[in-house]
Structure 1
Amino acid sequence: MSAPRGQFSSNIGFLMAAAGSAVGLGNIWGFPTNVAANGGAAFVLVYLIMAFLLAYPVLMAELTIGRHARRNMVQALRGIATGPINRFLGGLTGFGGILVASLILSFYAIVAGWMVAHLAEPFFSLAGVEGTAEWLSANSTARNLTFTALFSALTMLIIASGVEKGIERWSTLLMPSLMVLLLLLIVYVLTQEGAMEGLKVYLIPDLNQLSPELLPELLIDAMGQAFFSLSLGVGTMLIYGSYLSRQESLPRLGVLVTLIDVGIAFTAGLLILPAMYVAREAGTEIFDKAGNLIAEDQLVLQVLPALFDTMGTAGLFVAIAFFALMVIASLTSSISMLEVPVAFTIENLKIPRRLATPLVGLVIFAISSLIIFNFKALFLLIVTIATKFGQPLLGVALCIFAGWIWRRDQLLAELKKGHEDIEQTLFWKIWPWYVRIVCPLLILTAFAQSVM
């Protein structure tokens, strides 16, 4: 028999877990990189708009379906569907979400492994073990396999402990630690020469970036960032919603999760953008002659270590703090992604959590290993399939299920739990038709533009 379903023990526990899922490398690494590549503050402005016009409505669809069904993504979507065709499409969408979540975790674990290796490197440098320190900082198949396995094992260990004792407990511990480290690093970096120039680029929009020629690409990048950072379309928020108490107001919780995610993404920009310009002041090239960002996907691993090197011994301690921040951010997101296929395995195959977790985790690690051995051919391909195609299309499917397929009276009844007067609120007057018509059209328009 499978173990009984878990439940978050408090509002704070859910918020920390949901925020932890949203606040990962997509915020600490991806968001500032996108800001730097897309003209600074103009991207920040468009991202904030996308987060609330697109990401929040889809987040609400996932949370509401999840809490109503109290099942994994496949069973949840099949449960709200009517008729054999819709139930088939619900199962197909659910399996698609599980597949995309697994693919995202397969490349995410590799990048997180890099962070763990870079976290370990300063300790060996301080101990004088230079050979090991160089191996940890150099990109090699052996290093990548080792630390991807280490990070994957840590993720599995947390998920195997369950919802309250695993996901909630660790999220509640890790998220405050992340914020403390982030704020300490910001204070330190802003005292360095060159930081104010980066802060200016980050906070003062260049309106030329909002021209008709540049705006479509900016919108696509901002939408992709909002979806990826909030873990949307792949069922993570649906699963977390299924562990929520019936007494909680979903619209309020959704707003809080979005605000926390956007807030930490913005705060991360206050660290990374000034740090880039501090590194440039110290002699590190961050832009090419045409003004394009150098090595976008490797920005954090190229620019910041170069900055730490200019600080002497103090740089080793700053590096430890920074990569500890990155590991924490990686872990809070990875546990939510692993929970998606694990929940399906527990509930559909009736396998206990402590057995389902390593079984699923090892399958995903096998995919990660395949990517590592064929990195140039597979890494960007998997990233593109999962985030550029998978997440937006699954987001559209979830909007259709919440807006068109699920009976409106059942939807209203679910939202009334924890929010009795929901019918009188602005949320109920706007969200049902917005998620039904506006969200799918906006997402599909941006998706078509990105494909073309």
Structure 2
Amino acid sequence: MERENFKSRLGFILISAGCAIGIGNVWRFPFVVGNHGGGFFVLFYLFFLIAVGVPVLTMEFSVGRASRQSAVKAYKVLEKPGQKWHIHGYIAMFGNYVLMMFYTTVAGWMLYYFYRYVAGGIEKLDGSGVETAFGEMLSKPGNMAFWMLVIVLLGFGICSLGLQKGVERITKWMMLALLALILVLAVHSILLPGGAEGLKFYLLPNLDRLREAGVWNTISAAMNQSFFTLSLGIGAMAIFGSYLGKKKSLLGESINIAALDTFVAIVAGLIIFPACFTYGVSPDSGPSLIFITLPNVFNQMEGGRLWGALFFLFMTFAAFSTIIAVFENIMSCCMDQWHWSRKKAALINVFVIALASMPCVLGFNVWAGFQPLGAGTGVLDLEDFIVSNLLLPGGSLVYLMFCVNRFGWGFKNYLAEANTGDGVKVPAWLRFYFTWILPVLIFILLVQGIWGVVGKLFV
């Protein structure tokens, strides 16, 4: 079967960025910035994005483009006879499935809230009413399962149409709409009466807040955010490398994708902080920010129903762009591994993902007593821990070692692939950094991520 290719370079950049741009960009990034010295955090974040995130992104793309295969078979094509690097390919695919086990449910929440704003009702609720509405949604497994299933069917339906006719065509327009929406929302938010104070809190370096958060904590949080924002380590980016031609070098393309991802994350803060400061609302983290704090803000605005609907449409696009990208990765692996047709891969995985997503749905109601990571945690927290703290950093470390180690693919092969085409090249003198320093940084992230969660169970 001939390998499909992207129709345009723009399609590749927007789809890869769409995979990286997700819910975490919007509800996690602004909060972490605000709590770690504002502008200082942003500077540290940008530094680590260039020093850690972009290099590993070039490696995933290189493995994909050189092999022209999905996660599992990519290693088999490039590794030397008798080597076992391909075992990570199976672990990477497992990671894609686990990610979708909770991401589809959360994307369903976004779509449901968009529907609620369009239909009307939420904008009439007071503060306690908004909080109750979110609690009611979580308490109804049937309702959550329905919206999760809508997301799953839409996602695989688009992927079943093909790379160019489905994934590229739909994601391209969805990402352009997302960028337009986020700019409209940001301009509106900045122009609110208290917008300037929100911007000052968000972006100006503040030594007092930096000292309060702790310099090491700020550096650590920035490294963590820069790394996870690009969805590295589970082959989600390698698959797009396998569809990519040789016209452009991979460092230049990686920089474009990282820049777009960062742009969305920073502009999300331009929406949230001015709005929260204008209406005197604390910018909480996590689900409470998106589903309780911001609806309360929208309900106080002139035309709040419209702004609420636009915001949750933007959030749906942000989540759905990641889902389409990961679904494509899952389907491509099935097609490469078992020679299934695209439609067969879509049909079988609709049932697999829908069934696998049910524990997350039930974790908020029927299985609420199951608290795997301590009091107050649930199924979603466990699934998120497996992906974010284990498989992403662990997988990135494997890709890195495969590309720089002579017992893997090797630095010379990686460098030749990454530098094929026009554009920014990876300098050969970075070999020492890639081989000896970058693995240590990623290993620290891996240990820190595990201990940050598991350590609490023993303290």
Tell me if 1:372 matches 2:367. Answer: no
Stretches (4+) displaced over 6 A = 126-130, 133-137
Distance 1:223 1:12 in 2: 28
Paired-residue identity, %: 28
Say whether the 8 Å CA contact 2:93–2:330 is kept in structure 1: yes
Supply the distance in 2 between the matched residues of 1:47 and 1:412 (Cα, whole angstroms). Answer: 26
Look up the match of 1:245. Answer: 245
Give, in whole Å, the separation in 1 of the partners of 2:244 and 2:412: 20
Equivalent position SS for 1:334: helix
Structure 1: any 5+ residue segments left out of the alignment?
287-292
Counterparts of 2:122 and 2:318 in 1: how far apart (Å)?
A: 26
Out of 406-415 and 251-260, give the one that drifted further.
Answer: 406-415
Q: Determine the structure 2 residue equivalent to 1:352.
A: 341
Instruction: Select which of 315, 323, 327 maps to 2:316.
Output: 327
User: 2:175 is aligned with what amino acid?
Assistant: M
Which whole-Å CA distance do the structure 2 matches of 1:161 and 1:367 have between them?
23
CA contact (8 A) 2:59 2:414 kept: no
Cα displacement string for residues 335-354 of structure 1 (whole angstroms, at most 9, x for unaligned residues): 11112221110011111111
Residue 208 of structure 1 and its aligned partner are, at CA, apart by: 4.2
Counterpart residue type for residue 413 of structure 1: A
Is the 2:178–2:317 contact (alpha carbons within 8 Å) kept by the matching residues of 1? yes
- 1:289 aligned partner: none
Q: Deviations over 1:64-122 (max 9, x none)?
A: 111000001111122222242x3x2x222111111112211221111111100000002
CA distance in 1, matches of 2:315, 2:26: 7
> Could you list the per-position Cα deviations for residues 318-372 of structure 1 after superposition, in whole angstroms to 9, with x for gaps in the alignment?
1111111111111111111112221110011111111102312321221211121
* Equivalent-residue separation in structure 2 for 1:263 and 1:128 (angstroms): 29
Once residues 294 and 419 of structure 1 are traced to their aligned partners in structure 2, the CA distance between those partners, rounded to angstroms, is 44
Alpha-carbon contact 2:61-2:250 (below 8 Å) kept: yes
Q: How many angstroms apart in 1 are the aligned matches of 2:122 and 2:362?
A: 31
SS at match of 1:71: coil
Residue 76 of structure 2: which of 75, 78, 83 is its match? 78
Of the three residues 112, 117, 121, the one matched with 1:122 is: 117
Specify the alignment match of 2:185 in structure 1.
Answer: 185
C-alpha distance in 1, partners of 2:235/2:80? Answer: 20
In structure 2, how many angstroms separate the alpha carbons of the residues matched to 1:266 and 1:129?
30
The residue aligned with 1:266 is 266
Provide the rounded CA distance (Å) in 1 between the counterparts of 2:105 and 2:355. 12
User: Equivalents in 2 of 1:361, 1:226: separation in Å?
Assistant: 32
SS in 2 for 1:406: coil
**RMSD of the TM alignment (CA)?**
2.5
Of residues 194-203 and 62-71 in structure 1, the stretch that sits farther from structure 2 once superposed is 194-203
- Deviation of the 1:233 alpha carbon: 0.8
Q: Distance in 2 between matches of 1:129 and 1:192?
A: 21
Name the CA distance, whole Å, in 2 between partners of 1:48 and 1:120: 36
How far has the Cα of 1:381 moved from its partner?
1.0
CA contact (8 A) 2:298 2:305 kept: yes
**How far apart, CA to CA, are the structure 2 residues paired with 1:269 and 1:51?**
18
Determine whether 1:438 maps to 2:437. yes
CA 1:431/1:269 → structure 2, altered by over 3 Å: closer, same or farther? Answer: farther
User: Kindly tell me: are residues 159 and 237 of structure 1, through their superposed partners in 2, closer, same or farther at Cα, counting changes over 3 Å?
Assistant: same
2:387 aligns with 386
In the aligned structure 2, how far is the partner of 1:451 from the partner of 1:219?
A: 18
Residue of structure 1 equivalent to 2:104: 109
**One-letter identity of the residue aligned with 2:28:** G
Matches within 5 A, 1:2-13: 4-13=2-11
CA contact (8 A) 1:135 1:143 kept: no
Task: Report matched runs for 1:394-413 at 5 Å.
Answer: 394-404=395-405, 405-413=408-416
Counterpart of 2:24?
26
| Unaligned residue ranges in structure 2 (runs of 5+) | 369-377, 452-459
Judged with a 3 Å threshold, the aligned counterparts in structure 2 of structure 1 residues 396 and 173 are, in CA distance, closer, same or farther, namely same
Secondary structure at 1:432 match in 2: helix
- Structure 1 pair 212–324 and aligned structure 2 pair: CA distance change class (3 A): closer
Contact 2:56 2:232 in 1 (8 A): yes
Post-superposition CA distance 1:131-184 (Å, at most 9, x none)? xx9978733322211111111111111111121112211121111111111111
CA distance in 2, matches of 1:363, 1:61: 30
Q: Is the 8 A contact 2:28 2:285 kept in 1?
A: no
CA distance in 1, matches of 2:20, 2:13: 10
Q: 1:298 to 1:181 in 2, by over 3 A?
A: same
